[in-house]
């Protein structure tokens, strides 16, 4: 059974690694890795393949950057001849990026079954491109693998056949659990940045709703500037965010921060593990901090990962000064024993995924 596995961005790489590993152990599956090239920065691309042991892609599309509509259309245009040439039995996509929805769309047109890993997550905010991508991908998919029980409820509400839905846990956790000790042993990021454990905050910001307008980005940076007077702030700056800070002339606000570029996976895991608090608008980091048992404040008005809030590892801080400060104060008061781990986030998700795929393939 030939399965094309699609990656395009950093979160995709982290999720696909254990799936490719499990597939390679099964003689009944011939895994084909396709990289769209949606992320092409070295620290968001090749270094992740090297550190996570992902095999060299069988195909690289090199689509590069662009606005959402152009990027989706370019990926569809590039992958369609690959589907025609390779004639896979199924196509597997992960997450909610443009590569996910574009490849699912192209496969669906050719009547190739689509498998979606991390299905059913909903922020209920359609102004987010990722939310649109999630909804469309789930409607096109033949197998839907869910990370948390809210995903099952969301898919039922949208009329997805229950036989297509499988609650398997979070494949990102597989990668984190496998590499956490390695990150602790091999990373030198704390020494490089002259950091002491639990004496700093980690910040990441990348969502267009937060960084594309000065009226939103400036107040967020200002409140974090306030926090930097109490604890050092390490700001891992996404290329898009860096451009906007420069465009809006906000460098003076971030001057007290320790600003660094996107980090290799092991360094980022080590940096978060030893932080006192993580401030982010990333969905994946909400999940990683849950397993690392590090308090997280999400700088958004909503989250598609409500289980992280239910388990006491994450709070929504919104985008206003007072709400962010209140969330920071509250999350730091939570006792570690009050922070739980979601069901099936045990490091065995990829194994469950492959078992379901094999059982499903027999019925095709």
Sheet with 59-60: list strands edge to edge.
59-60, 30-35, 2-7, 90-94, 114-119, 143-146, 165-167
> What confidence score (pLDDT) does residue 41 get?
62
Residue 47 has pLDDT above 90, yes or no: no
> What confidence score (pLDDT) does residue 138 get?
98
Q: pLDDT-derived band of residue 11, with 50, 70 and 90 as boundaries?
A: confident
> What confidence score (pLDDT) does residue 292 get?
96
Q: Which phi and psi angles does 266 have, rounded to 5°?
A: -65, -40
Q: pLDDT-derived band of residue 6, with 50, 70 and 90 as boundaries?
A: very high
Q: What is the mean pLDDT of residues 15-20?
A: 97
Q: pLDDT-derived band of residue 250, with 50, 70 and 90 as boundaries?
A: very high
Q: What is the mean pLDDT of residues 144-159?
A: 98
Residue 42 has pLDDT above 60, yes or no: no
* Pick from 345, 353, 344: nearest CA to 25: 353
Q: pLDDT-derived band of residue 46, with 50, 70 and 90 as boundaries?
A: confident
Return the number of other C-beta atoms located less than 10 Å from residue 359's C-beta.
10
Burial of 129 (0-12, 13-18, 19+ CB in 10 A): buried
Q: Which of 24-38, 46-60, 192-206 has the weakest average pLDDT?
A: 46-60
Q: pLDDT-derived band of residue 341, with 50, 70 and 90 as boundaries?
A: very high
Q: Which phi and psi angles does 314 have, rounded to 5°?
A: -145, 145
Residue 358 has pLDDT above 60, yes or no: yes
**Of residues 276 and 41, more confidently modeled:** 276
Residue 66 has pLDDT above 90, yes or no: no
> What confidence score (pLDDT) does residue 38 get?
82
Q: How far apart are CA 202 and CA 272, in angstroms?
A: 7
CB 105, CB 136: distance < 8 Å: yes
DSSP letter string, 71-132: HHHHHHHHHHHHHHHH--SEEEEESSSHHHHHHHHHHHHTT--EEEEEES---S-TTSHHHH
Listed as own residue / partner, the contacts of 356-361 with beta carbons closer than 8 Å and 24 or more positions apart are 356/143, 356/145, 356/166, 356/168, 357/3, 357/29, 357/90, 357/115, 357/143, 358/26, 358/28, 358/29, 360/143, 361/1, 361/28, 361/89, 361/90
Angle at 29 between CA 143 and CA 160, to 5 degrees: 5
Residue 242 has pLDDT above 90, yes or no: yes
On average, the pLDDT of the chain sits at 95
> What confidence score (pLDDT) does residue 43 get?
52
CB 228, CB 256: distance < 8 Å: yes
> Three-state SS for 328?
helix
Q: What is the mean pLDDT of residues 172-199?
A: 97
pLDDT (tens digit per residue) in 115-150: 999 999 999 999 999 999 999 999 999 999 999 999
Q: How far apart are CA 208 and CA 203, in angstroms?
A: 16
> What confidence score (pLDDT) does residue 235 get?
98
DSSP letter string, 255-319: TTSEEE-PPPHHHHHHHHHT-SEEEE--HHHHHHHHHHT--EEE-SS--S-THHHHTTSEEE--S
> What confidence score (pLDDT) does residue 261 get?
92
> What confidence score (pLDDT) does residue 61 get?
94
> Three-state SS for 162?
helix
Write down the catalytic residue from 35, 206, 238, 252.
206
> What confidence score (pLDDT) does residue 350 get?
98
Q: pLDDT-derived band of residue 361, with 50, 70 and 90 as boundaries?
A: very high
Residue 282 has pLDDT above 80, yes or no: yes
For this structure, is 274 an active site residue?
no
Q: What is the mean pLDDT of residues 84-104?
A: 97
> What confidence score (pLDDT) does residue 236 get?
97
Domains of the chain and CATH, by start:
2-170+345-362 (3.40.50.2000), 178-338 (3.40.50.2000)
Q: How far apart are CA 156 and CA 213, in angstroms?
A: 36
Q: What is the mean pLDDT of residues 252-256?
A: 97
């Amino acid at each position: 059974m030939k399965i094309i596995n699609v990656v395009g961005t950093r979160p995709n790489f982290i999720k696909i690694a254990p799936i490719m590993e499990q597939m390679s152990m099964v003689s009944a599956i011939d895994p084909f890795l396709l990289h769209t090239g949606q992320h092409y920065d070295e620290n968001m691309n090749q270094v992740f393949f090297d550190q996570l042991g992902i095999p060299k892609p069988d195909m690289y599309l090199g689509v590069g950057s662009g606005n959402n509509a152009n990027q989706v259309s370019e990926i569809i245009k590039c992958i369609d001849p690959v589907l025609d040439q390779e004639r896979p039995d199924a196509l597997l996509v992960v997450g909610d990026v443009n590569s996910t929805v574009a490849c699912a769309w192209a496969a669906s047109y050719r009547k190739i079954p689509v498998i979606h890993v991390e299905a059913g997550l909903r922020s209920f905010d359609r102004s987010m491109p990722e939310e649109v991508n999630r909804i469309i991908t789930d409607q096109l998919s033949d197998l839907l693998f869910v990370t948390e029980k809210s995903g099952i409820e969301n898919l039922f509400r949208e009329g997805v056949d229950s036989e297509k839905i499988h609650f398997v846990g979070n494949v990102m956790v597989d990668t984190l659990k496998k590499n956490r000790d390695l990150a602790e042993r091999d990373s030198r990021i704390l020494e490089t940045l002259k950091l002491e454990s639990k004496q700093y905050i980690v910040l990441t910001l990348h969502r267009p709703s937060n960084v594309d307008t000065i009226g939103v980005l400036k107040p967020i940076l200002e409140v974090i500037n306030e926090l930097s007077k109490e604890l050092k702030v390490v700001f891992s700056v996404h290329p898009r965010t860096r451009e906007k800070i420069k465009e809006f002339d906000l460098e003076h606000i971030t001057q007290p921060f320790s600003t660094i570029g996107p980090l290799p996976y092991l360094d980022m895991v080590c940096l978060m593990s030893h932080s006192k608090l993580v401030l982010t608008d990333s969905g994946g980091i909400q999940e990683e901090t849950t397993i690392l048992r590090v308090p997280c404040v999400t700088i958004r008005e909503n989250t598609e990962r409500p289980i992280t809030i239910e388990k006491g590892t994450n709070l929504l801080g919104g985008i206003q000064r007072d709400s962010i400060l209140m969330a920071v104060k509250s999350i730091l008061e939570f006792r570690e024993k009050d922070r739980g781990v979601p069901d099936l986030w045990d490091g065995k998700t990829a194994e469950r995924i492959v078992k379901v795929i094999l059982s499903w393939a027999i019925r095709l």
